[in-house]
């Protein structure tokens, strides 16, 4: 059986034109997906997790009961992850966090958290991906390598598509890539600007200064010759509709949110001359959704604490890595994420010394190390639900196959029910 227009639950592109062939309860083939998406669909039934306590296989019921016990007795739990599960599951996670006075954080805190911090200061002019297809004639990828992180981005959304006012597609666009090294994405650029690591802030502010008519005294800023900065600015000013794409090259390096503030400010200032937008290259397929559900229920995008019965926001304080570093939580519930693989070692060390519950369809390193594992059915393969693309467009991911495992939403709902009833 062939299912068309399947939504891929991997990265922030949330491609929704995937075609999947199903035979005998398995995915037999995948069309249109990128290599990473294909891997996700084809290996949908590999490396699945199973219910366990202390590494020993137990019944699903026992695993849930143990999780209920740990969370119900906690004084300050950390609930973390969310970006690879549905909005429907997020609602339950939030209700649970509020009920037990936990801190709740999602993967943005080690990804585009600094972008959120910048937006608090500057706001952000942005657009949906279709505007890029239809209008954008200048693209600037800053600290972003889409050919490796968002493999169909160039092809389906930004560089190649022919749109309403961009009938020439690639030929009608100028691609600029700014990075510390020549990535595969940079190799395709019309202009590659190599910046010194940790000096994007200086370069961005130099551009802002030049945009306001300032003359730079130096001949080089951040490893970039001033003539090249001038060329870049001219290209940006020549755009009818330009877009700056922000990646981890800005959020993870020295300056962090200041880098993003500078980038957004440049784009805001360009709007006095011509139209420009900023798009944050969100990593996971529903990290935008995780920020969204947290925002509409609490007012804040990540790093939230409920110990006082109302949401308090404090990046650097209630963000997961910091809570672990300072050993301020007494247990950790990880949903749809793998912090054991992705957090710095000393945060992982603390996590491994605490009661750790993993709710995950697969044997992530977190699941492999957890005290309690509750296996769930992967959203987008076995469970339908809502996910928000990097530009905020919400799509309903499909259920392609049946699973004997419950969904994240059901498990969290069950945990909630039992803690409330206790």
Binders of another protein in range 199-238 (CB under 8 A) = none
Q: How many residues bind another protein (CB under 8 A)?
A: 132
Q: Give the separation between CA 357 and CA 251, rounded to whole angstroms.
A: 29
Q: Nearest CA to 318 among 53, 106, 157, 105?
A: 105
58 binds another protein (CB under 8 A): no
Nearer residue to another protein within complex by CB, 64 or 374: 374
Looking at 55, 169, 197, 214, which residue binds another protein (CB under 8 A)?
Answer: 197
Q: Given the structure tokens 């900065």, which residue do they identify?
A: 229
Show the binding pattern over residues 19-48: x = contacts another protein (CB under 8 A), - = does not. Answer: ---------------xxx-xxx-xx--xx-
Phi, psi of 271 (to 5 degrees): -65, -10
Q: Give the separation between CA 13 and CA 245, rounded to whole angstroms.
A: 13
Q: Give the separation between CA 314 and CA 310, rounded to whole angstroms.
A: 13
121 binds another protein (CB under 8 A): yes
Looking at 92, 152, 153, 156, which residue binds another protein (CB under 8 A)?
Answer: 156
Show the binding pattern over residues 131-150: x = contacts another protein (CB under 8 A), - = does not. Answer: xxxxx---------x-xxx-
DSSP string, 214-233: ---SSSEETTEEHHHHHHHH
Nearer residue to another protein within complex by CB, 64 or 358: 358
Q: Give the separation between CA 21 and CA 7, rounded to whole angstroms.
A: 14
Looking at 74, 106, 277, 337, which residue binds another protein (CB under 8 A)?
Answer: 277
191 binds another protein (CB under 8 A): no
Closest contact distance (angstroms) between CB of 61 and another protein is 26
Closest contact distance (angstroms) between CB of 316 and another protein is 4
Q: Are 376 and 391 in contact (CB under 8 A)?
A: no
* Residue 110 structure tokens: 């080690």
Q: Given the structure tokens 């600015």, which residue do they identify?
A: 233
Q: Nearest CA to 256 among 109, 144, 106, 115?
A: 115
What are the distances in angstroms from CA 370 to CA 79, 126, 191, 226, 242?
14, 39, 47, 52, 46
Nearer residue to another protein within complex by CB, 217 or 308: 308
181 binds another protein (CB under 8 A): yes
Q: How far is CA 221 from the centre of its chain?
A: 31
* Residue 80 structure tokens: 């973390």
Closest contact distance (angstroms) between CB of 229 and another protein is 19
Nearer residue to another protein within complex by CB, 268 or 401: 268
Nearer residue to another protein within complex by CB, 59 or 314: 314
Nearer residue to another protein within complex by CB, 214 or 316: 316
Interacting positions 69-88 with another protein (CB under 8 A): 87
Closest contact distance (angstroms) between CB of 10 and another protein is 7
Region from 51-59, 72-80, 129-137, 201-209 binding another protein, contact rule CB under 8 A: 129-137
Q: What is the DSSP letter of 154?
A: I
Closest contact distance (angstroms) between CB of 282 and another protein is 12
Closest contact distance (angstroms) between CB of 69 and another protein is 23
Q: Which helix (H) or strand (E) holds 23?
A: strand 18-23
Interacting positions 300-359 with another protein (CB under 8 A): 300-303, 306, 308-313, 315-317, 319, 321-322, 324-325, 338, 340-349, 352
- Coil vs helix vs strand at 328: coil
Q: Give the separation between CA 145 and CA 281, rounded to whole angstroms.
A: 10
Nearer residue to another protein within complex by CB, 35 or 213: 35
Closest contact distance (angstroms) between CB of 205 and another protein is 18
- Coil vs helix vs strand at 367: helix
- Coil vs helix vs strand at 357: strand
Nearer residue to another protein within complex by CB, 4 or 190: 4
Q: Give the separation between CA 174 and CA 30, rounded to whole angstroms.
A: 32
Interacting positions 244-263 with another protein (CB under 8 A): 248-249, 251-254, 256-257
Q: Give the separation between CA 398 and CA 235, rounded to whole angstroms.
A: 42
Closest contact distance (angstroms) between CB of 186 and another protein is 9
């Amino acid at each position: 059986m062939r299912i068309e227009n399947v939504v891929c639950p991997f990265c922030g592109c949330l491609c929704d034109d995937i075609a999947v062939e199903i035979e005998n309860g398995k995915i037999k083939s995948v069309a249109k997906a990128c290599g990473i998406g294909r891997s996700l669909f084809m290996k949908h039934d590999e490396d699945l997790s199973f219910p366990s306590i202390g590494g020993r296989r137990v019944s699903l019921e026992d695993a849930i009961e143990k999780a209920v016990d740990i969370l119900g007795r906690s004084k300050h739990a950390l609930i973390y992850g969310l970006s690879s599960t549905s909005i429907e599951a997020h609602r339950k996670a939030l209700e649970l966090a509020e009920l037990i006075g936990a801190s709740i954080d999602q993967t943005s805190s080690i990804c585009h958290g600094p972008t959120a911090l910048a937006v608090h200061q500057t706001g952000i002019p942005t657009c949906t991906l279709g505007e890029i297809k239809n209008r954008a004639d200048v693209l600037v990828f800053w600290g972003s390598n889409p050919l490796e992180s968002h493999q169909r981005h160039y092809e389906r959304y930004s560089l190649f598509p022919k749109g309403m006012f961009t009938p020439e597609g690639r030929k009608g666009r100028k691609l600029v890539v700014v990075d510390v090294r020549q990535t595969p994405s940079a190799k395709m650029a019309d202009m590659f600007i190599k910046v010194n690591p940790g000096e994007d802030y200086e370069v961005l502010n130099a551009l802002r200064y030049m945009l306001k008519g300032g003359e730079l005294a130096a001949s080089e800023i951040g490893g970039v010759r001033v003539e090249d900065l001038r060329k870049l600015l001219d290209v940006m000013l020549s755009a009818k509709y330009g877009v700056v794409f922000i990646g981890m090259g800005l959020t993870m390096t020295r300056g962090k949110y200041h880098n993003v503030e500078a980038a957004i400010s440049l784009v805001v200032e360009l709007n006095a001359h011509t139209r420009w937008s900023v798009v944050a290259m969100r990593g996971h397929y529903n990290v935008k959704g995780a920020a969204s559900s947290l925002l509409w229920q609490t007012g804040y995008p990540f790093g939230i604490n409920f110990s006082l019965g109302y949401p308090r926001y404090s990046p650097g304080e209630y963000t997961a890595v910091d809570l672990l570093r300072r050993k301020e939580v007494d247990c950790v519930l990880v949903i749809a994420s793998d912090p054991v693989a992705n957090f710095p070692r000393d945060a992982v060390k603390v996590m491994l010394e605490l009661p750790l519950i993993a709710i995950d369809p697969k044997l992530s390193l977190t699941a492999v190390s957890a005290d309690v594992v509750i296996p769930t059915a992967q959203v987008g393969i076995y469970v339908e639900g809502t996910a928000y693309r990097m530009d905020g467009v919400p799509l309903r991911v499909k259920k392609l196959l049946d699973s004997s495992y419950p969904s994240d939403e059901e498990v969290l709902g069950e945990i909630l029910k039992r803690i409330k009833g206790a």
